Amino acid sequence: MAELDRSRLQDPAYMAQRIAACEREIQKGIIGQGELIRQVILAMLTGGNVLLEGMPGLGKTRLVSTIGKVFDLSFKRIQFTPDLMPSDVTGTNIIIKNEQGSSFSFERGPVFANLILADEINRATPKTQSALLEAMQEHTVTVGNVSHVLDEPFFVLATQNPIESEGTYPLPEAQLDRFMFKLLVRFPTREELKGIVALTEGGSEPVIEKQMDGEGLLAARALVNQIPIAEAVMDYLLEIIMETHVPNPHIREGASPRAAQALIRAARAKAFIEGRFNVSFQDVKEAAYPVLRHRIIPGFDAISAGITEDDIITRILEAKTALAGR
Amino acid sequence: MEQREFLKIIKACRRRMYIADFLKSSVSALSIGAGTGILFQIAAFFVPLYYADLYMMLAFILAELSVLAVMVVRRTTMEQAALRMDGFGFEERIVTAYEHLDQEGTLVGLQREDAMRQLREHRDKIHIPVMPSLKRTALLFLLLVCSVGLSLLPSAAKERAGELHRIREEAQGKEDEIEEFMEALEQLEQEQLTKEQQEALQEMMESLESSLSEYQQAVSEEMLSAASQKLDYKYENMSSQLSNLMQELQSGAGVSIASADAMQEIAEQLAKMQEGKLARGDGDGKGQGGSNGDDQMGQQKGVGDGSGQGGAGDRNGQNGQSGDGNGGGQNGQGEGSGSGEGRGTGSSGTPHDYVSVPNAVADSGNLTGNIGSHETSEYFRAQNGLNWEGEHTSLEAVIGSYEQNAYEGIAAERYPSGMEDIIKEYFASFNN
């Protein structure tokens, strides 16, 4: 692999190339799921957390560990269970006895890593789930009276099983809003499945090489935040958010202001990853689905009619097509 | 690509967009104008609308003026032009670069370079059509053809509208004339007049007001003609009344010369107008010429001293059954025979000396309706009683009545000898 040239961390074109290289490297270890990989990288470029929803065995853990390798980030996996305690996540103060006597020392929990996989997050109790809230939003952990700053970059990739609802604690809206993206992990196609089987059963595992590091990722994130947005594109983006608050029998609750921030960042990151330094209408459109699908609470009419969040977003985008000048 | 060139390209695009917008809006507006014009033209087929063509033109002009106004207010901006250019695959690069043209920064600079490079390489992709779509143009053409075609198609309502317009114009002229006279009468110094004289003047004014109202309400040639006849009659009367009044005033003491002169002037003017009318009547000699035509009616209304006046009709009655306009007798007698249209005006010293004027008599060419079918005959009622509707009397009854009178005349030896056979032969011809 080509070593990251630290003198060019401020070079947008170079950094865009490195991110593209990361994407390609991840795709070596994950068969299919190209769109999912792209979305996760987008979230990482903007410092957002991701909620992955999909059936078990679709390679979510593999994806996260591969990302950890490619970006050279420390990776921790937390399996959420009903008996998981908050301190099991954040860490706790323990008594240390030594020659000087006894003292409390903070034992870091698994949350102290760059990349956290919160597996089946909806199986833990709300108390434990909320232990992640501060970490996700503030990037700090408070135990007792002491706040501990998490290492940067910090990402939480949580998974939840959409089918099994027994013994689960659905994430409250407030916590959902803290995830930048909600990504749907789809079942692979037959060809992709064949590739997965060939890769994992009998075949030699591909060597995943580091393409980037935490510092590079933070530099890339800083560049993404500078990408200019035209007024028309910004208006379009805001109109989409506002449209979720227009009385609509299919929408019970619309997107929060945080959704607008997330949409701007995601659209910028998408432009950056495509080697562009401006945000297009198409960027906004494509980013709208992962950003809004968990922030729009469907109404009874939508649920009873089988209308999904994505359907609602599609309708909003269609309604605002004229604004996009197309 | 330099910044100046970048802006130049956007400006060129904006200009094209502006022209395209103008043409598109013009076609749309003219189509609306043509549609409105068509509505006016259709309406003109059902209701008398003399100015339908003018309204149609006004609709066109208004439509185009509104487009011009909108285009002045709503000018295409550079941002809009840049955004439109981005629609040709530039992914909002151009509008972003334009909006951040005066900003500095690594990303902004890179973005600008990227936009200019893309524009340089793919400028040929930008194609902003100036001409409106063929569909819209064809629709406009179709609407224009329809509106012009409809304006050229004749219809009864259009003819009626033309007639009404002519009537209105003529009536307006008369109204102005009457108002002028009324003003002149009002300006006379009435303090020096006796009560009777003042009343006479007041009557004249009221009479003129009545004529004014008749002209204002005139919606047909008949009404206009009746009003004109009545007005002529009034003019004649007023002229003589004013002359008499003037003479009375001049013979009296302490009369204002100005007032007498004014009266004299008005009287002369009225007389001139009346003479003019008569001159035209003489020249015409057809129909209009008869005066005091119906001696019976003349006697009925022309009490006593009616002095028939009018143009000379054809004695032989080609153009006027009662067309002898000499009317020299006290009773305004006239006689004649034959067919034709005759109208007469009986006059007398009394102000309401009216005669009835049939709508159409005698000459079958001027009759409306069938002789045998009286229900379709037409008559009209004029305001203020100069004319009134006649009675429907069958031709047989009329002829029978004449025949009876004629035979009674023969029996009473009222006719010159030798004429009896001619009269008998004449009436016998109706029985065949």
- Residue B29 CA to residue B59 CA, distance in Å, equals 9
Q: With CB atoms and an 8 Å threshold, state whether A279 touches B92.
A: yes
A2 or B420: whose pLDDT is higher?
B420
How high is the pLDDT of residue A99?
82
Instruction: Report which secondary-structure segment, H or E, holds A252.
Output: strand A251-253
* pLDDT value for A302: 85
Share of chain B above pLDDT 70, in %: 67
| Residue A231 contacts B, CB cutoff 8 Å | yes
Query: Using the 8-state DSSP alphabet, how is residue A156 labeled?
Result: E
How confident is the model at residue A109, as a pLDDT? 87
What is the structure's pLDDT at A264?
Answer: 93
Where is average pLDDT lowest: A130-134, A224-228, B5-9, B28-32?
A130-134
Integer Cα distance of B337 and B315 in angstroms: 8
The pTM for the full model equals: 0.63
Identify all chain B residues contacting A278, using CB atoms and an 8 Å cutoff.
Answer: 91-93, 96-97, 111, 114-115
| Interchain contact B99–A (C-beta under 8 A) | yes
* Shortest Cα–Cα distance, B27 to chain A (Å): 22
Domain coordinates in residue numbering, chain B: 3-152, 161-362+382-388
Predicted confidence at residue B336, as pLDDT, reads 40
CB A60 within 8 A of CB A79: no
Q: Which amino acid is at B412?
A: A
Within 13 Å of residue B391, how many CA atoms lie on the same side as its CB?
A: 4
Are A34 and A70 in contact, with CB atoms under 8 Å apart? no
pLDDT: which is higher, A59 or A271: A271
Query: Mean pLDDT, chain A, as a whole number?
Result: 85
The stretch B24-29 carries a mean pLDDT of 90
Give the contacts of A266 (CB within 8 A, at least 6 positions apart): A42, A43, A46, A48, A180, A181, A287, A290, A291
pLDDT at A308 over 60: yes
Number of Cβ within a 10 Å radius of residue A44: 27
Per-residue pLDDT at A59 exceeds 60? yes
Over residues B176-226, the pLDDT tens digits come to: 888 888 888 787 766 667 787 788 888 888 888 888 888 888 888 888 888
Q: Is A12 on the interface with B (CB under 8 A)?
A: yes
Is residue B348 predicted with pLDDT exceeding 50? no
CA dihedral in degrees (B114, B117, B122, B123; nearest 10)? 110
Give all domains of chain A, ordered by start, each with its CATH number.
1-213 (3.40.50.300), 227-326 (1.10.8.80)
Q: What pLDDT is attached to residue A266? A: 93
Contact present, A244 and A251 (Cβ < 8 Å):
yes
Between helices A231-243 and A281-292, what is the axis angle to 10°? 30
**By mean pLDDT, which of A261-270, A279-288, B2-11 is the weakest?**
B2-11
Q: Dihedrals φ, ψ of A118, to 5°?
A: -90, 90
CA distance readout (Å), B195 to A299, B202, B209, B242? 94, 10, 21, 15
Q: Which residues on adjacent β-strands are paired with residue A106?
A: A93
Q: Rounded to whole angstroms, what are the CA distances from B17 to A294, B24, B97?
A: 41, 10, 20
pLDDT for B319 beyond 70: no
Q: Are A325 and B108 an interchain contact pair (Cβ–Cβ within 8 Å)? A: no
Which residue of chain A comes nearest to B100, CA vs CA? A228
Q: Say which residues have a Cβ less than 8 Å from residue A255's Cβ, sequence separation at least 6.
A: A241, A244, A245, A291, A292, A295, A296
* B7 pLDDT more than 60: yes
Beta-carbon contacts of A172 under 8 Å, excluding residues fewer than 6 positions away, are A126
> Quick one: tokens of B110?
């890179």
Confidence of residue B287 (pLDDT cuts 50, 70, 90): very low
Task: Give me chain B's average pLDDT, please.
Answer: 72
For the segment B378-389, the average pLDDT, to the nearest whole number, is: 51
- Is pLDDT above 60 for B324? no
* B101-107 mean pLDDT: 84
- Does position B362 have pLDDT exceeding 80, yes or no? no
Of B84, B103, B111, the CB nearest to A277: B111
pLDDT of residue B222: 80
Q: Is A247 on the interface with B (CB under 8 A)?
A: no
CB-neighbour burial class of residue A2 (10 A; exposed 0-12, middle 13-18, buried 19+): exposed
**CA B180 distance to own-chain centroid:** 21
- Judge whether residue A21 has pLDDT over 80: yes
The DSSP-derived string for A188-230 is PPHHHHHHHHHHHTTSPPPPP-----HHHHHHHHHHHTT----
List, as one string, the DSSP characters of B382-394. -GGGSS-------
What confidence score (pLDDT) does residue A290 get?
Answer: 92
What does the pLDDT look like over B48-99, one tens digit per residue? 888 888 888 898 899 889 988 988 888 888 888 998 888 888 888 999 999 9
Give residue B318's pLDDT: 36
Residue B311: its pLDDT value, please? 36
- The C-alpha of B127 sits at a distance from chain A's nearest C-alpha, in angstroms, of 15
B29 token code pair: 């507006």
Q: Which of A40-44, A258-262, B378-382 is least confident?
A: B378-382
Query: Is the pLDDT at A258 greater than 70, yes or no?
Result: yes
Confidence band, pLDDT 50/70/90 cuts, at residue A58: confident
Please give, rounded to a whole number of angstroms, the shortest distance from the CA of A190 to a CA of chain B: 34
- Write out residues 280-319 of A within 8 Å (CB-CB) of B: 280-282
Separation CA B129–CA B365 (nearest Å)? 67
Q: What is the pLDDT of residue A146?
A: 82
Helix (H/G/I), strand (E/B), else coil: A166:
coil
The pLDDT tens digits for A94-112 are 888 888 888 888 888 888 9
Residue A265, pLDDT score: 92
Least confident of A141-145, A156-160, A181-185, B113-117: A141-145
The Cα–Cα gap between B201 and B230 comes to 18
Q: What is the pLDDT of residue B274?
A: 58
A112-166 confidence digits (pLDDT tens): 988 888 888 888 888 888 888 778 888 888 888 888 888 888 989 888 877 666 7
Are B95 and B14 in contact by the 8 Å Cβ rule? The answer is no
Say yes or no to pLDDT of B142 above 90: yes
Q: B372 vs A107, A136, B368, B379, B403, CA distance in Å?
A: 127, 108, 12, 16, 19
Is the bond preceding A126 in cis, omega lying within 30 degrees of 0?
no
Q: Are B98 and A229 in contact (CB under 8 A)?
A: no
Alpha helices in chain A, H assignment, sequence order: 12-29, 34-46, 60-70, 86-90, 126-138, 173-176, 190-200, 214-224, 231-243, 257-273, 281-292, 300-304, 309-319
Q: What is the DSSP letter of A186?
A: P
- Candidates A277, A281, A286: best to mutate against B (most CBs of B within 10 A) is A277
Which residues of chain A lie closer than 8 angstroms to B95, CB-CB?
Answer: 230, 232-233
